[in-house]
Amino acid sequence: MMTTENQATPSSEAAAAAPSPGLSSADPATMSAIVQDRYGSADVLRLDTVARPVVGADEVLVEVHAAGVDRGTWHLMTGLPYLIRLVGYGLTAPKQPIPGLDVAGRVIEIGADVTRFAPGDEVFGIANGSFAEFATASQDKLAPKPNNVDFDEAAVSAVSGITALQALTDVGHLRSGQRVLVLGASGGVGTFAVQLAKALGAEVTGVAGTTKQELVRSIGADHVIDYTRSDFADGRHRYDLILDIGGRSAISRLRRALTPEGTLVIVGGEDGNRFTGGAGRQLRAMMLSPFVAQRLTTFVSTEHHSFMERLADHMGSGRVRASIGQRFALADTAEAMRQMEQGRIAGKNAIIVRPPGTAAGS
Ligand SMILES: NC(=O)c1ccc[n+]([C@@H]2O[C@H](COP(=O)([O-])OP(=O)(O)OC[C@H]3O[C@@H](n4cnc5c(N)ncnc54)[C@H](OP(=O)(O)O)[C@@H]3O)[C@@H](O)[C@H]2O)c1
């Protein structure tokens, strides 16, 4: 599989050539981090110097080498849909002022109850505020980074990769030889879903916009549909499994593209209700499912290391590679998030906090 990289931008070139500007790791008590005091667009993000986080008993402190930009981080940055504010992330402002979930780096400290990692281990997974020089993470949300996978690739993989893996296997029950339709094949979850489905023996059709057709082809899709020109539900093809990741198609339309006993897994989709997001559509699918021969379902990804280890196996073997759109220095994180707001990211954007060769332990 190929790694996709767009044209290098000035910020991505800077990220590759020199330490992220403004890093303050000389002072052991502080660090540089992206901070937000209120919910809003990428404009609420600023680079600041803050106290280093303190590890809890079952947490490790990760020296962040790279972080990934994902849709979940955008939801937590904007506080949208409002439902997420009610479930504990902060009613009027984010409780976690440093954004960022996807992480890859080196363990430099462990909590009293940590058994899975030791200082020096190279890890990837999901952290508490990865847009920073250092971040804490639960030991259950990290896995060893495969030696042959670079930090930047590992850093964009956990959130999207384990969602794609669960959607295809644990939820979608994919079997080798089945026909899979991936709606939203050019995005974070979709680029992993296409490659994982191929690795698991499926015939894969990817759906994406005009500018991202080549990306979807390059990561191994057998067929590619441009949603601005063709209708995946025109009746010409039927699929055993549909992953609905982007586009928010009506359930009736999705069912038309399924085989009579096929499975629909609704992963997500933007532009839903500001209060509940896509939850209404997902609920309707679950309620309809018992009354039809097709299986219509949805899920919330489980952030557990067992899934990250399964993903790492695929990545370590080279069957699955992260598709990095662009690389940004930590100081340019707002621009990386802005690209997400504008739908311009192909695959995932990476934040390079410590370029290769500049890390404390290298
Ligand atoms: N269930 C879970 O646990 C879980 C976990 C992670 C993410 N999610 C959700 O899954 C969704 C996707 O996440 P992501 O990280 O992959 O987002 P992303 O990187 O922004 O990708 C969105 C994808 O949707 C595609 N798309 C947009 N309009 C479309 C249309 N009309 N038809 C088909 N595809 C269309 C985009 O294609 P183009 O760019 O080519 O237009 C892109 O490939 C989000 O809503 C996210 O919140 C859910």
In a domain, 103, yes or no: yes
Write the secondary structure of the chain as one string of H (helix), E (strand) and C (coil).
CCCCCCCCCHHHHHHHHCCCCCCCCCCCCEEEEEECCCCCCHHHCEEEEEECCCCCCCEEEEEEEEEECCHHHHHHHHCCCCHHHHHHHCCCCCCCCCCCCEEEEEEEEECCCCCCCCCCCEEEEECECCCECEEEEEHHHEEECCCCCCHHHHHCCHHHHHHHHHHHHHHCCCCCCCEEEEECCCCHHHHHHHHHHHHCCCEEEEEECHHHHHHHHHCCCCEEEECCCCCCCCCCCCEEEEEECCCCCCHHHHHHCEEEEEEEEECCCCCCECCCECHHHHHHHHHHHHHCCCEEEECCCCCCHHHHHHHHHHHHCCCCCCCEEEEEEHHHHHHHHHHHHCCCCCCEEEEECCCCCCCCCC
| Residue among 186, 242, 264, 326 whose CB has most ligand 1 atoms within 8 A, to mutate | 186
Position 3 in a domain: no
- pLDDT single digits (tens) 266-306: 999 887 788 888 788 999 999 999 999 999 999 999 999 99
The span from the CA of 197 to the CA of 58, in Å, is 34
- Using a 6 Å cutoff on CB, does residue 208 contact ligand 1? yes
Rounded distance between C-alpha atoms, residue 304 and residue 139, angstroms:
9
Same domain, 209 and 149: no
> What is the C-alpha to C-alpha distance for residues 17 and 14, in angstroms, rounded to an integer?
5
Q: Is residue 206 in contact with ligand 1, taking CB distance under 6 Å? A: no
In-domain check, residue 359: no
Q: State how many domains the chain has.
A: 2
How do residues 62-120 score in pLDDT, each as one tens digit? 999 999 999 999 999 999 999 999 999 999 999 999 999 999 999 999 999 999 999 99
For ligand 1, atom 38: residue with the closest CA = 209
Q: At 161, is the pLDDT very low, low, confident or very high (cuts 50, 70, 90)?
A: very high
Does residue 17 surpass a pLDDT of 50? no
Are 215 and 236 part of one and the same domain?
Answer: yes
14 Cα: distance to centroid of ligand 1 (angstroms): 29
* Residues 312-317, mean pLDDT to the nearest whole number: 98
Is the shortest distance between the CB of 324 and ligand 1 below 6 Å? no
Residues 201 and 327 in one domain: no
Pick the residue whose CA is nearest to atom 36 on ligand 1: 184
Q: Which atom of ligand 1 is nearest to the CA of 159?
A: 6
How far apart CA 29 and CA 82 sit, in angstroms, is: 35
Atom of ligand 1 nearest to the CA of 75: 47
Is the CB of 347 within 6 Å of ligand 1?
no
Residue nearest to atom 26 of ligand 1 (CA): 246
* Alpha carbon of 7 to ligand 1 centroid (Å): 22
The per-residue pLDDT for 357 is 75
Q: Are residues 274 and 146 in the same domain?
A: no
Same domain, 145 and 172: no
Does 329 lie in the same domain as 288?
no
> Cα of 246 to ligand 1 centre, how many Å?
4
**Domain presence at residue 308:** no
Q: Is residue 4 domain-resident?
A: no
* Same domain flag for 106 and 139: yes
Nearest-5° angle of CA 121, CA 2, CA 72? 60
User: pLDDT-derived band of residue 15, with 50, 70 and 90 as boundaries?
Assistant: very low
CATH number for position 211: 3.40.50.720
| 68 CB within 6 A, ligand 1 | no
CA of 22 to the centre of ligand 1 (A): 33
pLDDT at 252: 97
Residue 323 C-alpha to ligand 1 middle, in angstroms? Answer: 14
66 with 166, same domain: the answer is no
Q: 148 and 168 share a domain?
A: no
Spacing of C-alpha 171 from chain mean position: 18
Bigger pLDDT: 27 vs 149: 149
Structural domain contains residue 121: yes
312 is a domain residue:
no
Q: pLDDT tens digits, residue range 128-160?
A: 999 999 999 999 999 999 999 999 999 999 999
Identify whether the C-beta of residue 133 lies closer than 8 Å to the C-beta of residue 32. Answer: yes
Kindly tell me if the per-residue pLDDT of 359 is higher than 80. no
pTM: 0.94
Domain that residue 225 falls in: 160-298
Work out the pLDDT band at 11, boundaries 50, 70, 90.
Answer: very low
C-alpha pair distances (Å), 108 with each of 26, 134, 177:
15, 9, 44
Task: Answer yes or no: is pLDDT of 14 > 80.
Answer: no
Cβ atoms within 10 Å of 29's Cβ, excluding its own: 7
Ligand 1 center to 121 CA (angstroms) = 32
Nearest residue (CA) to ligand 1, atom 23: 184
pLDDT for 25 equals: 54
The amino acid at 251: I
Read off the pLDDT of residues 41-62 as tens digits, 9 standing for 90 and up: 999 999 999 999 999 999 999 9
Q: Are residues 228 and 347 in the same domain?
A: no
**In this model, does residue 259 exceed pLDDT 50?**
yes
Q: Which of 8, 78, 76 is nearest to 39 (CA)?
A: 78
